[in-house]
Amino acid sequence: MWLAQAMRNRNLFFFSRVNPDIFTGGFFSEEKWSIYELFPAQRIPLSYLVDSTDLPDDILEGINTVGIVFPLLVKPNIGERGMGIRIIETFTELRDYHLAAAYDYIIQQLVPFGKEMSVLAYYLPGSNDVKVTSICIKEKLTIIGDGISTIEELVLCQYRSRKNWSRLKDQFEANHILKRGESLILEPIGNHSRGTIFLDGNHLISDSFTKTIKQLFNEIDGEVFYGRFDIMFSNFEEFEQLKDFKIVEFNGVGSEPAHIYQPGYSLIKAYKELWQHAKILGNISILQGKRGRKCMTWHDFKSALKTYRRNLKLVMK
């Protein structure tokens, strides 16, 4: 798919000029902090960038200045698939995380909104006509009590929770019995690798929703034409009015239409959609070339890959 678009653009790194103000276009090795800086402060959670060489007491002073309070979220500045992300309850936990982290990371205030979705959208250079191509509703790893079974028994009845239980069990009283109908979120971080179920929400695409996403694109302080907004929100109607939500992440050209990962989604249809999105990237890149935008060089690619591998190795330790 991507090779075909590289041939159309006559450049293997055609993707890098789709979003010139995001490193590599957001294909890999991009810094989350640099992306956050493209958005108005009110659209993202309170955030603080930590250098791996910072002293713990200086970090505490920094987050106090920003207004971040415990509990809070930490995430690597360069990372993916939920690696290195943790919820931190106390300064002691933060200090331990910091002393173990040989990489830069971001501290964020926890977002109080309970719902999460990923929205993939784009527009063509020279146009202001935003197209929303994917809405993925994230259903976080949750168990529901029956008034009889313990937490552990409920967990072991489900594949996704069972797969993650060894990582999570120390956070819960395994023998506690939930009331009938009582729900318990086992993993609050909405990542597929952490047990979150991705659901197809494309039926929610409408003119009013597209207008909202267009406004968010217009607020970006940079040249960005394609990407996926990861949004936490209170309810859909409020979000369409740009109320009660935060953009927790924005991913560039490496973004996929996440709704295709709904359980049971047609494999053939999924591949067709991936092809269509690769073609969109190719189309944007061609138009960008006509506007004089340059692709990254082979040297740029090797340097970015080296940085990416080094950070990935550190985060996975």
For 100-112, the DSSP string reads H--S-EEEEEPP-
Phi, psi values for residue 252, rounded to 5°: -90, -130
How is residue 118 written in tokens? 């990923």
Report field, pTM of the whole predicted structure over 0.85: yes
pLDDT of residue 39: 98
| Cα Rg, the chain, nearest whole Å | 21
Number of Cβ atoms within 10 Å of the Cβ of 40: 11
**Side-chain half-sphere CA neighbours of 125 within 13 A:** 20
Cα four-point dihedral sign 36, 42, 43, 49: positive
Q: Residue 311 and residue 76: Cα distance in Å, rounded?
A: 9
Neighbours of 118 (CB within 10 A): 24
| Distances in whole angstroms, Cα of residue 27 to Cα of each of 15, 23, 52, 177, 198 | 7, 8, 24, 45, 21
CA atoms within 13 A on the CB side of 28: 15
Q: What pLDDT score does 248 carry?
A: 97
Longest CA pairwise span in the chain (Å):
66
Query: What residues in the chain have per-residue pLDDT under 50?
Result: none
pLDDT of residue 84: 85
Nearest to 225 by CA among 241, 211, 214, 210: 214
Q: How many CA atoms lie within 13 A of 180 on its CB side?
A: 2
